[in-house]
Amino acid sequence: MVSAIFPAAGQGRRMHAGCNKVFLELAGEPILVRTLRQFSQVKEIGELIVVAGAGEEDDVRAMLTNAEARARFAPWRVVTGGSERQYSVWNGLKVSSPGADVVLVHDAARPLIRPEVIEHVIARARCTGGAIAAMPSKDTVKVVDAQNCVTATPDRRTLWCVQTPQGFRRDLLIAANEKAMADHFLGTDDASLVERLGAPVEVVEGGYENIKVTTPGDLIIAEALLSSFQPPSQRGEGRTAAGGVEGSRNA
């Protein structure tokens, strides 16, 4: 069984929308709802854990409950986030099912993730312990110093732009977070915590359409990219029986 954690506690200041960006609609449906529907198409996903901002928990629950009038999600629950994304993920990880062998972490504002990418990350995480979605860099990258002068040009063939989901064995991700807390280390992503343990993290090709909706321009791009998705009817619009609102493990 696989648990999926969705950090959704960001302030979304760059969106200039006056609200959490995951509440914004993409083609008539909230971004968070679209994201969870993509994961609910993957049969191995056993639970969805949404980490909401303090004070937004009830709003998120209401949003998801209303969305389920059209199609079920995998079983879900909402927990409260922390002051940093890393702490929010930890809050979600602590309530994840001990029966999960793999835990995925996915940005709630990446609604265009394809189910086949999710499945590939799960498969490789089970094999190697850790796997992350990413895409080869299309641009030449320069290393600069404090004076903005170029000091190096890395080989582009070695550079990948990291996305989510990032998947890890549950015990490995717990150990990585505990180590980071003990060392007062704040990483840039979940993989950086696992890398500190010396554990391998494999790159899985994601998709250039798997953008994180951060700015108003991203929302326009995401609307355009939706046309490349196959009709939901070809995969089924979510779950029709299993799943539902927070159950016996309600927070």
CA distance 124 to 203: 9
**Cα–Cα dist 50/210, whole Å:** 19
Peptide bond into 165 cis (omega under 30): yes
Residue with tokens 């939901």: 232
Instruction: Tell me phi and psi for residue 35, to 5 degrees.
Output: -60, -45
Q: Which pLDDT score, from 0 to 100, does residue 243 have?
A: 47
Q: Position 36: which residue type?
A: L
Q: Which of 193, 218, 18, 19 is nearest to 8 (CA)?
A: 19
Q: Report, in angstroms and rounded to the nearest whole number, the Rg of the chain calculated over CA atoms.
A: 18
CATH architecture of 2-234: Alpha-Beta Complex (3.90)
Q: What is the mean pLDDT of each run of 10 residues along the chain (251 residues)?
A: 93 59 91 96 97 95 94 95 96 98 97 97 98 97 97 96 98 98 97 98 97 91 81 48 44 42
- Six-digit token string for 228: 């490349």
Indicate the DSSP class of residue 53: P
Q: Please work out, in degrees rounded to the nearest 5, the angle formed at the alpha carbon of residue 229 by the alpha carbons of 223 and 235.
A: 135
Position 226 scores a pLDDT of 86
Going from N- to C-terminal start, the domains of the chain cover 2-234
pLDDT of residue 227: 77
